[in-house]
Structure 1
Amino acid sequence: MRTSMSQNRCMSETDPGCGLRESKKRRTRDKIRRRAMKLFTDKGYSQTTVDDIAAAADISPRTFFRYFPSKEMLVIADDLDEILVAAIRAQPDDMPPLMAVRVALDDAFQQVADDDWTTDVTRQQLLFTVPELRSALFSELERTIEMLASLLAERTGRTADDFEVRVTAGAVVGAMMGSGLNTSTDHARRSQALKFLEAGLPLR
């Protein structure tokens, strides 16, 4: 999760309201990110330039900067946030908050193509392992807590700066981090971590 994805991102060309122009932008953005992640994996983040990414994506460097203000922001930006936010808001009002987050994560997982999840796992691996991106990692975690706090506040009728709301949001992020974000069973481990948190962390 990171900087909010572009407004009204189309998830498929058949989505209502997804015009040809938006669809083309989505495809181009996705192509840039996927080609970039492959280069980062093959060559390393530091050794990959914007020119390299542009060439791999068959675009000009100028076009790259229309979609991402920098190479760093290509990694930091989380295009899956909007899906997760919508999924949490779609859960029944009487569902317990932690359960709502877990079920929403499961729902979001079903909506997103395998390639998008693979790209996101690579993105998170870079945030945790590339020294140049470490400074962005704290901001990423802080922003994620803020996003979850706002969503939990909506569900509970509290404010986003409520102590218990913020602690809960932080616990959710901590549980997912503790589950091991960089594993091949990433989603299953996150879901398991949230179930453990729901149960009150019954460590024996």
Structure 2
Amino acid sequence: MPDNDDHGRHRTQLHPAVEPRLGLRERKKIKTRMAIREATYRLVQEQGYDATTIEQIAEAAEVSPSTVFRYFPTKEDIVVTDEYDPILEEELRARPADEPLLTSLRHVVRHAVERSMSDEFETREEMELRGRLMVEVPAVRSRMIESMSVTGRMMCRVVAERTGRDPDDLEVRVYCMGIVGALMEASRYWAEHGQRGDIGEYAERALEVLEQGLARRDSEAP
């Protein structure tokens, strides 16, 4: 992918903690996915989601339409797919084995939010656009739910290793998908409320509900 401006040069650099663990081929794949995603966000900002076609995305990213489809089976996948799952899995596995799972998750989620806000894989504007599309476009919202199930399965593997259970146990699946659902609702809540406040704080509040249950409140949450 061409790097003809400062923005492009920044956006194709991977985090130092990630690059050494990936081979050249995988790094190229990530850069291609990022270029396609960046082109998509730019076009959607300019002309709207429905008006943006795969052919336009391919031209803007300087790849072929078949390359776009090879990386993203649908236009919705371009919006909802990110590079975080392998990093989340690695960081979860790096937490102390005897640490409570929700404590580990709270640490990892906060770190992921901080990294997302640092423009490592997408800019703040792209993150906000993704949130708006999840609220406004039913097809994006539906695909996001399917995508989060992949994150849930990754979490099942980690939780199963921690607890000595099978990742396909009903209890493991319920626990992990409950966490994934909570985090998705936190993200949706942030988007529906004008993307005000700290999305990381909303995520932590969601995890606290799972940990402590739902207490009665005298005033409505902001």
Q: What TM bracket, shorter-length normalisation?
A: 0.7 to 0.9
Query: 1:127 touches 1:136 (CA, 8 Å); kept in 2?
Result: no
> Which residue matches 1:33?
37
Of the three residues 121, 124, 139, the one matched with 1:116 is 121
* 1:176 aligned onto 2:180: no
* Aligned residue type for 1:145: G
Q: Does 1:43 align with 2:56?
A: no
Q: 1-side partners of 2:190 and 2:157: how far apart?
A: 23
What TM-score, normalized by structure 2, do the two folds share?
0.71
Q: For structure 1, which runs of at least 5 residues remain unmatched after alignment?
A: 1-9
Q: How many residues align?
A: 195
**Shift in alpha-carbon separation, 1:69–1:152, aligned structure 2, 3 A:** same
Query: Which residues of 2 match residues 1-204 of structure 1 at below 5 A?
Result: 11-12=14-15, 15-18=19-22, 22-112=26-116, 113-114=118-119, 116-117=121-122, 118=124, 119-179=126-186, 180-182=189-191, 183-184=195-196, 185-204=198-217
TM-score w.r.t. the length of structure 1 is: 0.76
Identity rate, percent? 38
Distance (whole Å) between structure 2 residues aligned to residue 121 and residue 80 of structure 1: 17
Structure 1, residues 57-113: CA drift from partner, whole Å, max 9, x if none? 233334433433332332342321111111111110011011111111123334454
The structure with higher relative contact order (CA 8 Å, sep 6+) is 1
Q: Which moved more, 1:89-98 or 1:143-152?
A: 143-152
Looking at structure 2, the residues matched to 102 and 178 of structure 1 have their Cα atoms a distance apart, in angstroms, of: 15
Shift of 1:28: 2.8
- The one-character-per-residue Cα deviations of 1:128-187 (angstroms, maximum 9, x if unpaired) are 431333543442343333332232222111122333322322321232233325234222
Q: Over the residues paired in the alignment, what is the CA RMSD in angstroms?
A: 2.9
Go from structure 1 to structure 2 and tell me whether the alpha carbon gap of 1:173 and 1:86 turns closer, same or farther (over 3 Å shift).
same
Runs of 4+, deviation exceeding 4 Å: 17-22
| Cα pair 2:76 2:140 within 8 Å, conserved | yes
Q: 1:90 to 1:181 in 2, by over 3 A?
A: farther
Deviation of residue 30 (structure 1)? 1.0
